[in-house]
Amino acid sequence: MNELSTVPEALLYQAIAQSIVDAIDEPWSSASAMVVIENEVTGLIAGQYATKDSTEQDHDLRLDSQCYALFEELARRAKQGENPWNVAQFHLYPDARFEFQVAMVALAA
């Protein structure tokens, strides 16, 4: 059993949001994290955000392995249920609203 297995799902979402917020050091209008879980030992996480007053493209966001582990725990739980997934996107707004989208994608071997 891993250390996240007993954490309520709502707190996992909250921790992902906090990881995103902590990684941004300027005013922002939206941010997102995307994760691809290839298998139990391989995957990737990437993020980006838009600044409040910028019309430029999104800025890269550095997210750590702990944030990835939160997604991984959500995927583990989904795998036990009826909606397994291996790709997810977490989109966050400054007012704490968020969207969580998932998909099961066939990954190249």
How high does pLDDT run on average in the chain?
92
Q: Where do the domains of the chain lie?
A: 9-103
Per-residue pLDDT of 44-76, as tens digits, reads 999 999 998 766 678 999 999 999 999 999 999
> Sheet of 98-103: strands edge to edge?
59-61, 43-51, 28-37, 87-92, 98-103
- In CATH terms, the fold of domain 9-103 is 3.30.500
> In the predicted model, is pLDDT for residue 109 greater than 80?
no
Q: With the C-alpha atoms ordered 103, 106, 108, 109, is the resulting torsion angle positive or negative?
A: positive
What is the torsion angle, in degrees rounded to the nearest 10, for the CA atoms of residue 10, residue 13, residue 17 and residue 19?
110
The SS3 call for residue 72 is helix
